[in-house]
Amino acid sequence: MSARDVVKEANPAFYKRYSRLEDSDEFWEFLIRPLRQSIRVNTLKAPLEVIVERLREEFELEPIPWVREGFFINVDNLAKVPEHGLGLIFGQEASSMIPPVVLDPKPGELVLDMAAAPGGSKTGQIAQYMQNEGGCIIANDPNRDRANILMANLNRMGVLIARVTTRDGGSFARFENTFDKVLLDAPCSSVGMIRKSWRFLREWREKAVVKYMNIQKRLILAGYRALKPGGVMVYSTCTIDPLENEEVVDYLLRKTDARLERIDLPVKTSEPVLEWEGKEYSEELKKALRIHPNDNDTEAFFIAKIVKPGDGGE
């Protein structure tokens, strides 16, 4: 049975909707193919070269082109690797390393990670780029259980500059013009994660896409409001639905003075969607990254770099 037929049988509505987005055999094959294991080396605990040299004694490492600390690794169970238990490496999906790279946080900055749990891998990556000194990361998740896992992971990574909060993300709107950088890796319908778990395909429903879209619109407005003039906000999801990606960013562009910046990384992408279900989106969306599973053999991802005018901005 072809990958296309497997998807069609597992969830006919899913197949019907996304075959309008891309309908190549390759797209369907990669959508359900198991993910390659990838890791991020945690430079908060040891120099990159030292950890890489140690790992190469035992494993094959393939550098991930868009992030210096990222590697594909040939291991079945990361939990058995001592460096993982010690927090020297962290299992993180290759395309999910892009948002912190695009955010480009610096030491001394005040950074908001609006939906950080449960893994906290992006929070840890942000702390790496801030060199764990000066500044502060507010790592938020409204779910206390998830926040506890987040704290445990940040401790294992040796992150010292994060403060974990359990607020509704929308409440950050009251901290107007406060943060230098904001990451909204938004809760979504997780189409990209089908490669990790079949249940994301089986349980996918269009009404959930609409539910998430409404949450995302509320969060992106709150995050943008909390951003300082001249600051950068990154909006990302691990899904392919235009309602959760282009629609949400287009909504922000229409409601505010936000503008998008082009993202320059060595990553293959698919064309952003500028028209969906009869609705046209801003040409600005061409600056966003839409990544399908077959582009780089990763999860699906969407990333937009948003700038708030002011403080030397245009």
Closest alpha carbon to 162 in 138, 179, 180:
138
Determine whether 238 is an active site residue: yes
DSSP 238-305: S---TTTTHHHHHHHHHHSS-EEE----S---BPPPSEETTEE--GGGGGSEEE-HHHHTS--EEEEE
Distance CA 232, CA 142 (A): 23
- Number of Cβ atoms within 10 Å of the Cβ of 303: 25
Q: Which stretches of the chain are assigned E, i.e. beta strand? A: 38-41, 61-63, 70-73, 89-91, 110-113, 136-140, 162-165, 179-185, 227-237, 259-261, 275-276, 279-280, 289-291, 301-307
Distance CA 211, CA 206 (A): 9
Q: Exposed, middle or buried, 83 (CB in 10 Å: 0-12/13-18/19+)?
A: buried
188, 238, 252, 273: the active-site residue: 238
Q: Point out the residues that are catalytic.
A: 238
